[in-house]
Each structure stands twice: as C-alpha cells, then as structure tokens.
Amino acid sequence: MKDITNIYKKVSDWMDGSGPMSDIVISSRIRLARNVAGFLFFSHADKEQQRELLDFIRGKVMETELKNDLWYVNMEETAPLERMVLVERHLISQRLVDREGPCGVALSHDESLSVMINEEDHIRMQVLASGLQLEETYDYSNRIDNLLEKKMDYSFSPKYGYLTACPTNVGTGLRVSVMLHLPALKIIGQIEKVFRAAKEMHLAVRGLYGEGTEPIGDFYQLSNQTTLGKTETQIIEELTSQAIGPIVEYERRARDKLLKDRAIALEDKIFRAIGVLANARMISSEEAIYLLSFVRLGIHLERVTDIDLKTVNELFMLTQPGHLQNLYKRDLAENERDEVRAEFIRNKLL
C-alpha cells in the first residue's frame, strides 16, 4: 500500500497536466455535500454525536468497494504541518484544518477523490481532475455518491432536496468549479470585466485556495453559487457553455493579441521571471507563484522550450510552506522558508 507520509515529495497523480484545455483550465472540481438522516447537523451535534457520526461514516466508507484504494486520515491525530500539506494539495479545506473535534478525511491514492467527514456537513466529497473534465468528474462523483448512499440514508426532503447545514448549499449540494489561468486577460486589463460578468451570472470567483482567499499568480477559481432549482447537469452545462467557454476564448484571443502586438514585452516578463527563479537566494511563496505563472504562460506560448510543464507543476506544488517544511523535516521561520524555497527552485531549474 502506498504511504501517505511521503505525499509531500511529489505532485498529485491526477495533476499530470493532460486534461483538455489545460493551457488555461488547470483543473476541474466537483464537490457534493451530504448529511446523514437522523442526526443533527455537525455544528449542533455534541462531541459524542460528532464522534458517533465520524465512526459511522468512516465505517461505511471503508465497507464499500473503494476500501482498498483509500487512505483514512484522522485529523485529530494529524500534526499541523501534515494538515497544511493536505490543504496545499487541495484535498481538504481550511475549515477542516481549523476544526476542533472529531473529523477526518478519506483519500484515494491518486488524490483524485477526497471524502471529508464532519466538515460543515457530515460528508463533503470532492473529485479533482486535470484540465476541463467536468462531465467525467461528475460521473465519478455520482458513482461514489451511489456507493455511499447504499450504506446510509441521506437527509433529504422532496421539496428542498439534499438538506445541508447552510441553506446556500441545499438542493443538489453541488459545487462545480474550475481553476483558470488568465495571465493575458490580466495584462490587457480585462480581468475586472470577467469578474463582473461572472457576478452577474451568479458565479463566484475566488483565489488559488478557494473560499476566503485572494487570487494570486493570475489563477482564478470559478464556481456556481446556485445549488437549488436546477438539475446537476444543468448547473454543469451552464457553467461550461456560458462562462468557461467564453472566458477560455477571451484568454486565448488575449494571448494571441499579446503575441502579435507586444511579443517582446511579453517575452521580457517571461524571461525575467526565469532569471529571478533561477538565481534568487530568497523568494516568498507569493513571488514564486507570481513568477511561475509567467513561466507557465511562456511554455504554453512556446517561448520557453527548456523547462517542461512537469517541472513547473512540481515547483508550484512543492514550494508551498507546508510541503517545504515537511521536506526539510522541521518547522521553518518565514525567512528560512524563503531561503530554502529559493534553493529548491534553483536546483530544479539547473
């Protein structure tokens, strides 16, 4: 069985950069929120009930055919640095990290599936995939939902659908998101237009780490906010055709425009980024992401040919604070981290 303790050494298996439109759509994510019938919602359950829920759900999950492909992580027995790694890999939410009390997560070995237990809802299952693959991801999450449903009764009302702790998730309990890389739109000053249009379509735009985070490095997470009154397929279809499609098109056109009108200025930005990354002695997390964003663009525009996407993905993932500290086997102060990060990047780019 694969060992979760070394998870911080390499990039998640699902993040192989092979999905459709992965020059702009970094990843797709489907999240389903479910609660077990006959129990209070998590925030109101006392410690005993919370533990009962955790044991019950974990037991049921490990009874399914998934059991041989899953690691179970008991959050109460997990050190803060280990939890940080899981957040950085987009496997758990910050809310689960901050959770005091019984909670855990079941992860598939390739990290494409994550089933959080006792987050805001009893069960929050998530499927991740590279590029734009919302339909396939939804099918996969559906299968998991079916498997779990056979083992337990979900809290469900014919009128309101799947009942959730927060009414903003009620109905389908479905959150569909994509992570988009939009450097060109940012450069030509069109990114605010995208935000406004998204807002008008009742879509949320967030940063790299989701809820409550700011966008850095031109990465934007786009997701639906409406979960009731539409079918799951409708929600996915609307997001894909009305938002993702047009935005991807605008970014492509913006990139073409930049290549035509400002090729040298663009290349300058890209190669200065490589220059700093290859030579800096200290570099913060934010600066690294900001510069790597240009390198990624450079690769997709075929201006950078001696660095491959795999390396860039590794640099994104493994230089995050939690990952670095696990790599160096100890807590590091911020300035130490910045030195160590710079060293790690220099070595990878040699």
Give contact residues for another protein (rule: CB under 8 A). Answer: 35, 37, 39-41, 43-44, 120, 142, 145-146, 149-150, 153-163, 165-168, 170-172, 174, 202, 225-232
Cα-based torsion angle of the residue sequence 349, 128, 84, 326 in order, rounded to the nearest 10 degrees: -40
The CA distances from residue 49 to 53, 56, 95, 223, in Å, are 6, 10, 19, 32
Cβ atoms of 7 and 105 within 8 Å: the answer is: no
| CA neighbours closer than 13 Å in the CB half-sphere of residue 330 | 4
Q: Pick between residue 226 and residue 311 the one whose CB is nearest to another protein.
A: 226
Q: Pick between residue 156 and residue 271 the one whose CB is nearest to another protein.
A: 156
Tokens encoding 203: 């879509």
CB of 86 to another protein, least distance (A): 23
CA proximity to 80, closest of 335, 292, 325:
325
Q: Pick between residue 185 and residue 236 the one whose CB is nearest to another protein.
A: 236
CB of 196 to another protein, least distance (A): 17
SS3 37: coil
CB of 41 to another protein, least distance (A): 6
CB of 35 to another protein, least distance (A): 7
Cα-based torsion angle of the residue sequence 271, 275, 277, 280 in order, rounded to the nearest 10 degrees: -160
CA proximity to 164, closest of 212, 226, 120, 105:
120
CB of 160 to another protein, least distance (A): 6
Per-position DSSP letters for 42-106, written without gaps between them: GGGS-HHHHHHHHHHHHHHHTTSGGGGGEEEEEGGGS-HHHHHHHHHTTSS-HHHHH--SS-EEE
CB of 129 to another protein, least distance (A): 20
Q: Pick between residue 142 and residue 284 the one whose CB is nearest to another protein.
A: 142
Q: Pick between residue 111 and residue 145 the one whose CB is nearest to another protein.
A: 145
SS3 252: helix
Q: Pick between residue 25 and residue 53 the one whose CB is nearest to another protein.
A: 53
CB of 176 to another protein, least distance (A): 12
CB of 158 to another protein, least distance (A): 4
Sheet holding 174-181, edge to edge: 70-74, 104-108, 113-117, 123-130, 25-34, 174-181, 219-224, 203-206
Q: Pick between residue 11 and residue 147 the one whose CB is nearest to another protein.
A: 147
What does the DSSP 8-state code read for residue 328? Answer: T
State the Cα–Cα distance between residues 36 and 153, nearest whole angstrom. 6
Q: Pick between residue 23 and residue 120 the one whose CB is nearest to another protein.
A: 120
CB of 203 to another protein, least distance (A): 11
Cβ atoms of 31 and 126 within 8 Å: the answer is: yes
Q: Pick between residue 107 and residue 243 the one whose CB is nearest to another protein.
A: 243
